[in-house]
Amino acid sequence: MANGPVRVLEIGGHSAGYCGRLFVRAGAEVVRIESPEAVPSWASDVATNTYLHAGKRRINTQDVRLVGELADKADVVICEASCADQVNCWDFDSFLTPIKVAITPFGRTGPKRNWRATPHVLLAMGGYTHLMGDADQAPLSLPGHYLEFQTGALAYTVASACLYARPHSDTKDVDIGMLETVMALSQFTVVRWHCTGDVRSRHGSDFWFISPSDLFRCADGWVYLTIVPGFWDPFVVFLQRPELAIDPRFRTNDDRKYNRRDVCNAFERPY
């Protein structure tokens, strides 16, 4: 900003927290409104706070008037809530902030705007759990805060784009539904369906349409490898197995897919 660092007001859980973290790293001044309820985390509170909230000014208040005053002085507001009505409880639409970003499970409009959902539910609705796990077992979900952090990164990107466009644009209201984030991240699924008619399914640790892509045993445990076609030749040279580059079973990615068990057997030894 011409008159100093960007001022950001952050309200919400891990998505807003990660967005604020990115702003801090970019040199912004971030004020965080603490949530009155504990937000479940995969790590300890100390680890989570250190990772997400270092460098922020943190205020423990639920005073809507005070939050509105802080919002009116900010360049960006990031407000994450459990549903559309929770966003409205902050009097969000009355904020005079030039750039306002709302994050909810299903967005602020539409029939599901007040539906509540955990990240695991959203991953399932977006098709992610259809792809994870072994084919003959129950589907799995992603650990950690993958969806929340991806949504926070999207919010940061959009808000930064709006900042970049100023002063040649009007006030920007951005509405992010976390389910939309899930769908936007399904690039392999969408592209393969539209381009080749393939419907992806669960194959355990094997990425399936790229070979090799699996867990391989090594001397001190296991290593996961995904070798895209252009890296096959350098990969086998790196492993000091150049003969595999000219093996007719492994000449192309399609050959390696067809002979994927032979690929695995070729690497299934300690190094």
Contacts of 248 (CB under 8 A, 6+ apart): 255
Q: Each residue of 94-141: pLDDT tens digit?
A: 999 999 999 999 999 999 999 999 999 999 998 888 888 888 888 888
In the prediction, which pLDDT does 159 show? 96
Stretch 157-168: mean pLDDT, rounded? 87
Stretch 151-175: mean pLDDT, rounded? 88
In the prediction, which pLDDT does 169 show? 61
* Helix (H) / strand (E) containing 246: none
Stretch 155-184: mean pLDDT, rounded? 88
- Count how many residues are written for the chain: 271
Q: Is 99 helix (H, G, I), strand (E, B) or coil?
A: strand
Q: Each residue of 192-247: pLDDT tens digit?
A: 888 888 888 888 888 888 899 888 888 888 888 899 999 999 999 998 899 999 99
Indicate the CATH number for domain 7-184: 3.40.50.10540
Fold of the CATH domain 213-267: formyl-coa transferase, domain 3 (3.30.1540)
In the prediction, which pLDDT does 254 show? 93
Q: Each residue of 26-57: pLDDT tens digit?
A: 999 999 999 877 778 888 989 999 999 999 99
DSSP letters, 14-63, are: HHHHHHHHHHHHTT-EEEEE--SSPPP-SS-HHHHHHHHHTT-EEE----
DSSP letters, 123-187, are: HHHTTSTTTSS-TTS------TTHHHHHHHHHHHHHHHHHHHHTTSS--EEEEEEHHHHHHHT-H
Distance CA 54, CA 50 (A): 5
Every domain of the chain and the residues it spans? 7-184, 213-267
Q: By the 8 A CB rule, do 222 and 215 touch?
A: yes
Residue 269 has pLDDT above 70, yes or no: no
Residue 270 has pLDDT above 60, yes or no: no
Long-range contacts of range 159-164, CB-CB < 8 Å, 24 or more positions apart? Answer: 159/19, 159/23, 159/76, 159/78, 159/99, 159/101, 160/26, 162/76, 162/98, 162/99, 163/1, 163/6, 163/75, 163/76, 163/99
In the prediction, which pLDDT does 1 show? 47
**CA distance readout (Å), 21 to 10, 13, 32, 165:** 10, 12, 10, 22
Question: For 101, phi and psi rounded to 5 degrees?
Answer: -120, 120
Q: Each residue of 59-106: pLDDT tens digit?
A: 999 999 999 999 999 999 999 999 999 999 999 999 999 999 999 999
DSSP H helical segments within 55-126, as ranges?
A: 64-73, 84-88, 119-125
Q: By the 8 A CB rule, do 52 and 31 touch?
A: no
pTM: 0.83
